[in-house]
Amino acid sequence: MTDDYQQKLAAEAELWGAESERVARELPPDWRYHRHLRHNVIMHAADIDDLLRQVRPGMHALELGCASGWLTLALAQQGAHAVGLDISDKSLAVARAYYDQVRASVAGTVEYRVADLNALDLPAAAYDLIAVKATLHHLVNLDHTIDQIYHALKPGGLLWASDSRGDEHLSSVLVAGALTFVLPTETSYADKFRALRKFGLRAPSRVKASIQADGLSPFEGAGREHDWLKLIEQRFTIERRVNMPAVTGYVTAQLKAPEAVALPFLKALRAVDRLLVRAGLLRNTGLVIYARKPL
């Protein structure tokens, strides 16, 4: 790997490590707590709970891009022998410190290791389940990573992937922009009107960049030029594909309102959003995939 790649990797690790430390000061890295966060209630809880129902005691499980380790821990709380890999030492320090606190109550076991997911070297046929959440779109060597996942799963093993795929579509950008313009957010209405006057017809591109979190981290969106779903389809049998809502996730992150108001509104928006995606009127990028390695 080049010096530039190593520098970007170090910056990526530092950024997400600091984020893990920040969140851990407010909330333990444990799904029992994280599932009540607004974005998880609206966008992720049902799918993660469904994943956890796939776990049987004694299974060997791996999470790629585990950050502070709450999903790896949740797999172990279901009885799995779970391994979490991440590039950030700081994130893994948060994960290990919390696991040490709760270890006695965990049915399975947990191990956290530092790893560059672009340069994996996993053992053959070692895992019954591999999970990867919101990580594939950061990877520049996706073909190798998917190959390694296939190599490391046992025949019949399950790959669970939750991520965005490709660029946001104009219809979704326009609807998301309109909703966050009229709804209360951290940005004042005066600032919203000033931005609209300033950017004019360029406003949708600004909204698109915000939805995609362009520039958030050194590798944010680096994997968008690769189609991770096609790479998985070439190697695995897709058992189930869940289409995420197109705009609800972004609105959830932006909306400034008490939970008693926000949650009912966002749940209703999610239902309408899914219907519009199903009808082809909105195009989503978020997917959850259940893929099985052939026997």
The pLDDT tens digits for 29-71 are: 999 999 999 999 999 999 999 999 999 999 999 999 999 999 9
CA distance 21 to 90: 7
Nearest to 250 by CA among 211, 203, 288: 211
Backbone angles phi, psi at 158, to 5 degrees: -105, 130
Residue 101 counted as domain residue? yes
What band does 106 get if pLDDT is binned at 50, 70 and 90?
Answer: very high
For the whole model, what pTM was predicted? 0.94
Cβ contact 204:276 at 8 Å: no
Q: What is the mean pLDDT of the chain?
A: 96
Domain count along the chain: 1
Number of helices (H), then strands (E), in the chain: 13, 7
Short-list 149, 140, 142, 122, CA closest to 1: 140
* Domain membership flag for residue 121: yes
CA distance 233 to 163: 15
User: Is residue 204 one of the residues assigned to a domain?
Assistant: no
128 belongs to a structural domain:
yes
Domain that holds residue 32: 3-167+218-246+283-292
197 domain-assigned: no
Please check whether residue 83 is in contact with residue 62, taking contact to mean a CB–CB distance below 8 angstroms. Answer: yes
Whether residue 172 lies inside any domain: the answer is no
pLDDT of residue 215: 87
Provide the H-helix boundaries in 222-280.
228-235, 248-254, 259-278
> Does residue 61 belong to any structural domain of this protein?
yes
* Phi, psi of 190, rounded to the nearest 5 degrees: -60, -45
Per-residue tokens: 235? 């190697």
pLDDT digit string, tens, across residues 136-161:
999 999 999 999 999 999 999 999 99
- Residue 177, in any domain of the structure: no
Q: Domain containing 153 — which CATH number? A: 3.40.50.150
Provide the token pair at 195: 């931005």
Q: How far apart are CA 75 and CA 251, in angstroms?
A: 29
